Amino acid sequence: MEYFPLLELPEDLQAMVVERVARNSFQDLYRLRASSRSMKALAEMRRGVQFFYSYDEQDYGLSLIKHAADAGYERAVYTHAMTQAIFYGDAQYFRRIPRATVDRVGKLVRDAKWGWGLWHTDEFRQIKAMFTSTYVPSFYLCQCANVVDRQCLCLWHIDVTKDDNMCERCFWIKEISLFFRDFEPISLFRDTSNW
C-alpha cells in the first residue's frame, strides 16, 4: 500500500487536514499527533486554542500554542502573538510576523471553523470591550492614512476604513480588532466516528 506524503503539502493544507481530523474525533486527533512531530505541533496549536480561549486553562493552552509557534507554523505564530498582546499586553511577538503576510495568515486563523458550540471566556469579552472603547477610537482619529467616512466607528467596518498606508500602531489596532471581531475558539469536539 502506498502512503500519501502529508508532510510534503504546504503548511496551510497540513493545517486544514488537522482541522478536519480534529472535527472528526479525539481518537483521530491523537492518532494524527502520533504520526509525526510536525502533525503533533499543529494538533497542539489547535488544542492550545481550545484550552486557552474556551476552558480558561491559560497556562496550559498558551504553552501548546507556543510549542506550535516555535515549530514555525504561521497560524500558530499569529495566534501566539495575538494572545500575548491581548491578554498580557506584550506586543513583542508581532515582530515575528512579516507585515506582508499578516493579512493572509490572519484571515486563515480568523476564518477557521474551530468547532461546534463556540464560546469565549468572560475575560476575553471584558478585554474586547475595553479594547474597543479605548483603542478603536484612536484608530479612527489618527490621520496616518486616507480614511473612508463611516457612520459607525466600530469593529464592523475597521478592515475597510483606511488604506494600506497606515502607521504601525493603527495597523496592529486594526489587526487586533479583526481578531476580536472574527476569531472563535473551539470548545467542543463532535465524535462522528460511529455515524
What pLDDT does 43 receive?
Answer: 65
User: In this structure, are residues 90 and 121 in contact, taking their beta carbons and an 8 Å threshold?
Assistant: no
| Model pLDDT for residues 62-77, shown as the tens digit of each residue | 998 898 888 888 888 9
Cβ-based neighbour number of residue 98 at 10 Å: 9
- Cα–Cα distance, 140 to 136 (Å, whole number): 7
User: In this structure, are residues 166 and 145 in contact, taking their beta carbons and an 8 Å threshold?
Assistant: yes
What pLDDT band is residue 104 in, cutting at 50, 70 and 90? confident
pTM above the 0.85 mark? no
Q: Work out the mean pLDDT of the chain and round it to a whole number.
A: 75
What pLDDT does 6 receive?
Answer: 63
Where do the DSSP E strands lie in the chain? none
| Model pLDDT for residues 109-129, shown as the tens digit of each residue | 877 755 433 567 788 889 989
